[in-house]
Amino acid sequence: MDAADRRAAVRDRYANVAMTGSSCCGPSDCGTASPGADEAAAEEISCAVGYDESDLSRVPEGSNLGLGCGNPVALASLGTGETVVDLGAGAGFDCFLAAERVGPEGRVIGVDMTPEMVERARANATKGGFANVEFRLGEIEALPVPDGIVDVVISNCVLNLSGDRPRVLAEAMRVLKPGGRMMISDLLSDLAVPDFIAASKESLVGCLPVQVAEYEADLVAAGFVEVSVETGRRYPSEHILADPRVQAVMQREPWREGEVRDFVESIHGGAIAAVKRRLHRN
């Protein structure tokens, strides 16, 4: 699967999520579960990875699809008046939480490559009366955002989906102001991704984790400083094991079930922080 095919497969997957309102993992990802079950699954996942009930109650209904693996808004310590860009904004969940933090003087730009997701996010913004949030259709490898206007880049369980993470980090560097910061949540693992999982089409369009050292190296190569990659809460393994793509791998190679389970149980949400170097004046 080349980069274009991978983007198309990921776009198709999240278009289905946007249209059905289903959560990220588990059988409901196929759109077969009831809407109530999907909403409950999304809330369960969100609470497990770092959100609390007050977060869930402050956003428009239908904006939390359970797609995250952490809470980058909490990590970012956003300030009044800041400009924030969310990479892979989905239905707008983190954008709406960020909008409250930056206030009317601030601005939040959500970028997503799936038209159905952007449409849903815009409808949620209208429904919630969020005047300081906008959603743009675009790829995170080529952000539709001018150079050097952003204080904070956030993202939640999205960079692991990109076939070109170094390019995404270069784009984040481009849009950030000097001294701007990147605060993201992503999936990390203690174990390397087994070759038979990495090679499967199902896994490439799913959420494969990244090892800590690999993330650190990519951030440094992109020119970021004050790089920090910390492991956090374990991602609920039952949701990953119930995912249709994981089930497909285990059904095709049932003798590897133990190896799959060991790998899945090593996955956790990670908090990734970095800063664009400030300009030094003489």
Q: Which domains does the chain have, with CATH numbers?
A: 3-276 (3.40.50.150)
How confident is residue 21, by pLDDT bands cut at 50, 70 and 90?
low
- Whether the pLDDT of residue 201 is over 70: the answer is no
How confident is residue 36, by pLDDT bands cut at 50, 70 and 90?
very low
Share of the chain above pLDDT 70, in %: 84
The closest alpha carbon to 116, from 194, 31, 186, belongs to: 31
Token code pair at residue 280 = 């030094």
The closest alpha carbon to 68, from 135, 6, 158, belongs to: 158
pLDDT tens per residue across span 152-178: 999 998 998 888 999 999 999 999 999
- Whether the pLDDT of residue 123 is over 50: the answer is yes
Average pLDDT score over the chain: 83
39 or 208: whose pLDDT is higher? 208
For residue 50, which phi and psi values (nearest 5 degrees)? Answer: 130, 0
Q: Which residue has the tokens 């077969």?
A: 32
**HEC letters along 93-131:** HHHHHHHHHHCCCCEEEEEECCHHHHHHHHHHHHHHCCC
Q: Which residue has the tokens 């910061």?
A: 181
pLDDT tens per residue across span 224-240: 999 999 887 676 677 77
How confident is residue 35, by pLDDT bands cut at 50, 70 and 90?
very low
The closest alpha carbon to 108, from 151, 68, 45, belongs to: 151
**Which element (helix H / strand E) includes 270?**
strand 267-276
Q: What is the pTM (predicted TM-score) of this model?
A: 0.84
For residue 66, which phi and psi values (nearest 5 degrees)? Answer: 70, 35
Token code pair at residue 125 = 């913004």
Any idea what DSSP says for residue 32? -
Q: In this predicted structure, what is the pLDDT of residue 27? A: 37
Token code pair at residue 111 = 């970028």
What is the CB neighbour count within 10 angstroms for residue 134?
Answer: 15
Any idea what DSSP says for residue 235? P
How confident is residue 203, by pLDDT bands cut at 50, 70 and 90?
low
Q: Which residue has the tokens 């609470």?
A: 47
